[in-house]
């Protein structure tokens, strides 16, 4: 005899199979179009934004980099998109739909609209309202179950510096191909912070969700007038709630309270999400220089913010 939990699991799985059959996404092509479900998702995102960076698009859609690359190449070969190197890093590409690509999306979008209208047309007004209400309830319940709690910011505790080093090493290796020399640099910075920590002029914030660290940032003394922002990190589990902006904001407020005249930082041109956070917080790019570090050919950037 099945337990109550097993009955519920079977019911959800059965609904999922029924629902996907109704939407027509179990076949190879979506809505009898020439696009797979993943291709249609990429097409949708490109139709609703200007100049999407391929790497960031892959992260947002949780698509394997190689698979996304094949989709982008197919779209380019079919004349659906244009690709041009990002000014900050010519190894990354900005994607835009061509007129042909927008026509292809419009056709797919129209077919989706017509199919849903046809399905609803088979129901009474009362049943249509019941269906929409049930869908809203499902979205609320499943969304609440998968939405992380709001991160809190705290001082570092025992083991947190090890987490900072490990997380930086793993994330930058996975997302940007950095080698172990980057992890070594992070370890040196963390060790220096611990050895010469000046509580009156320096701080580290750890972002925490339900007891798990998901982000970090350091503000460290450079000299009496200048502070350095270092080791800004937000893990995937903490993204989507403006956590990077909060961490940088804490650094600015603390530096101003300490009497620093300026904050400086060093980053890489390929870190487009971090660069936007700095720019939005009032930092200005003051210098850039190509260099070979962490197993990569990079463009290092110095940003500053007057206080």
Report residue 23's pLDDT band, with 50, 70 and 90 as the boundaries: low
Residue 28 is predicted with a pLDDT of 43
Q: Residue 75's Cα: distance from chain center in Å?
A: 23
CB 268 within 8 A of CB 288: no
Residue 29 is predicted with a pLDDT of 44
pLDDT digits (tens, 9 = 90+) for 186-241: 999 999 999 999 989 999 999 999 889 999 999 999 999 999 999 999 998 888 88
Q: Which CATH architecture has domain 152-306?
A: 3-Layer(aba) Sandwich (3.40)
- Model confidence at 97: pLDDT above 60: yes
Domain ranges of the chain: 4-144, 152-306
Report residue 88's pLDDT band, with 50, 70 and 90 as the boundaries: low
Within 10 angstroms of residue 99's Cβ, the number of other Cβ atoms is: 9
Report residue 5's pLDDT band, with 50, 70 and 90 as the boundaries: confident
CATH T-level fold of 4-144: Arc Repressor Mutant, subunit A (1.10.10)
Q: What is the mean pLDDT of the chain?
A: 86
Q: What is the mean pLDDT of residues 67-74?
A: 88
Residue 143 is predicted with a pLDDT of 66
Selection from 59-63, 121-125, 210-214, 261-265 with the highest mean pLDDT: 261-265
232-237 contacts, C-beta under 8 A, 24 or more apart: 232/274, 232/277, 233/164, 233/167, 233/168, 233/171, 234/207, 235/167, 235/171, 236/59, 237/148, 237/209, 237/212
Report residue 27's pLDDT band, with 50, 70 and 90 as the boundaries: very low
Q: Model pTM?
A: 0.57
- Model confidence at 25: pLDDT above 50: no
- Model confidence at 307: pLDDT above 60: yes
């Amino acid at each position: 005899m099945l337990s109550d939990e097993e009955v519920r699991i079977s019911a959800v799985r059965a609904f999922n199979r029924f629902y996907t059959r109704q939407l027509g996404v179990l076949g190879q092509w979506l809505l009898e179009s020439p696009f797979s479900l993943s291709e249609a998702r990429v097409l949708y995102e490109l139709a609703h934004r200007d100049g999407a960076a391929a790497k960031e698009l892959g992260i947002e859609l949780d698509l394997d980099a190689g698979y996304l690359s094949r989709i982008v190449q197919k779209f380019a070969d079919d004349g659906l998109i244009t690709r041009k190197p990002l000014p900050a890093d010519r190894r990354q590409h900005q994607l835009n739909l061509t007129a042909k690509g927008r026509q292809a999306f419009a056709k797919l979008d129209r077919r989706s609209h017509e199919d849903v209208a046809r399905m609803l047309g088979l129901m009474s007004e009362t049943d249509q309202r019941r269906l929409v209400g049930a869908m809203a309830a499902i979205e609320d319940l499943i969304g609440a179950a998968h939405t992380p709690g709001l991160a809190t910011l705290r001082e570092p505790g025992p083991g947190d510096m090890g987490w900072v080093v490990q997380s930086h090493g793993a994330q930058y290796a996975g997302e940007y191909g950095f080698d172990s020399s980057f992890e070594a640099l992070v370890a040196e910075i963390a060790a220096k912070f611990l050895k010469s920590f000046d509580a009156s002029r320096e701080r580290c914030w750890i972002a925490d969700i339900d007891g798990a660290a998901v982000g970090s940032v350091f503000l460290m003394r450079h000299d009496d007038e200048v502070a350095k922002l270092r080791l800004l990190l937000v893990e995937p589990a903490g993204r989507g709630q403006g956590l990077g902006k909060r961490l940088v904001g804490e650094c600015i407020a603390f530096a101003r309270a300490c009497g620093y005249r300026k904050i400086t930082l060093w980053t890489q041109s390929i870190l487009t999400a971090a660069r936007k956070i700095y720019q939005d917080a009032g930092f200005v790019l003051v210098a850039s220089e190509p260099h070979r570090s962490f197993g990569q050919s990079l463009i290092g950037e110095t940003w500053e913010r007057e206080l």
